[in-house]
Amino acid sequence: MINVTKTFFPPIAEYTFQVQRAYTNEWLTNRGELVRELEEKLTDYLKLDVAKMFITNNGTIPLQIALKLLGGGGEIITTPFSYVATTAAIVWENCTPIFVDIHPEFLTIDETKIEAAITDKTTCILATHVFGNPCNIEEIERIAKKHNLKVIYDAAHSFAVQYKGKSVFEYGDVSTCSFHATKLFHTGEGGAVFCKDPELYRKIYYSHNFGHNGPVDFFGLGINGKISELHAAMGLAVFPYMDEILAGRKDVVDFYNTNLDFTTLAKMKLRDGTDWNYSYYPVMFESEAALLKIQKALNEAQIFPRRYFYPSLNRVNYVESQEMAISESIASRILCLPLYLSLEKNDLERIVEIINFVQ
């Protein structure tokens, strides 16, 4: 069976070596040695210049904390084309998602439509770097400054992405990432938050630890967003293989690019200045019927791509429905093909053969 992705498992001896360190330290949580070491390694690997970061227990908690601190219960301009966590975090923090449609090629929020959605209740723009493809960062920053809004980036898919020579995590007031097991770098479950402003960083930091200021004092309201040493151990075991993982995923992407018949398929367009991370391989069909036909044929061959992201988030049942013609169209026609390091060439050939033949 070939799934859309496959978790990278480092050699068990290398994971258990890291776990043994936690046992030796007798320290499993509350920012132990392994968590701090992983943060240092990631900061260096990502070539972070001024951004401060720390890792968390998942990629959604940083969004919720950022919205708690910056959203003010107001309207959050956001994209309808993302994983459901983006919209769920807004609603969970008692804010109101105001959807803006997406660009049909880049698949990120259409920056030309943002200003028309701004009202006196707007507090933030929460945009997603879709499949690791950066938003129009410069224009979003210009709009945010003009209207005194905060910018939060859901960069869950963007590990190792560089935009115009620096980490994509350095943009926005807050940027977040996911280290879920399906991501190219992972800690089993985990995530990270990035923030340049020292005072905002301090607030986010204490917010992820119940608001603690030492063992008996509190800065303010907080939640439990801490990651454990056991999860950090997985990250430390995965980390040495990042170059191999990225190179292997690039090989899969190159194979698809070279061998798929794009007569009736379309690819996502990468924004200029992007050094991409090969995180997903989405293809867009001419219609939902065409997608379902290909999906059925692949499933019958025990190949399971996935419909990222379906449905368009403006249609989930806990938001006020707003028509988003482009997002709804793309969501109905887009399919992410299998992509992971250990995907064999003969399996890739089967996938491509089925798609090209059934079309």
Residue with tokens 């989405």: 282
The residues, any chain, with a CB within 8 Å of residue 77's CB and separated by 6 or more, are 98, 100, 109, 114, 117, 118, 122, 124, 125, 126, 149
In this prediction, residues 62-70 reach a mean pLDDT of 98
**What are the structure tokens assigned to 248, written together?**
């292997």
**What are the structure tokens assigned to 196, written together?**
């340049």
| Packing angle, helices 229-238 and 12-25, rounded to 10 | 140
> What pLDDT is attached to residue 215?
78
**What are the structure tokens assigned to 294, written together?**
């290909």
359 has pLDDT over 80 = no
262 has pLDDT over 80 = yes
Predicted confidence band at 278 (pLDDT cuts at 50, 70, 90)?
Answer: very high
pLDDT in tens, 89-103: 999 999 999 999 999
What SS3 class is residue 109?
strand
Give the HSE-up count for residue 282: Cα atoms under 13 Å, Cβ half-sphere. Answer: 25
> What pLDDT is attached to residue 322?
86
All domains of the chain, ordered by start, with CATH?
2-239 (3.40.640.10), 241-358 (3.90.1150.10)
Q: Which of 35-49, 70-84, 202-216, 321-335 has the lowest mean pLDDT?
A: 202-216
The rounded distance, in Å, linking the Cα atoms of 108 and 154 is 11
> What pLDDT is attached to residue 214?
76
The rounded distance, in Å, linking the Cα atoms of 71 and 165 is 30
52 within 8 A of 201, measured Cβ to Cβ? yes
In this prediction, residues 68-87 reach a mean pLDDT of 98
In this prediction, residues 180-203 reach a mean pLDDT of 97
Q: Which residues face 75 on adjacent strands?
A: 96, 122
Amino acid found at 357: F
The rounded distance, in Å, linking the Cα atoms of 311 and 99 is 14
> What pLDDT is attached to residue 51?
74
Is 305 buried (19+), middle (13-18) or exposed (0-12) by CB count in 10 A? buried
70 within 8 A of 124, measured Cβ to Cβ? yes
208 within 8 A of 68, measured Cβ to Cβ? no
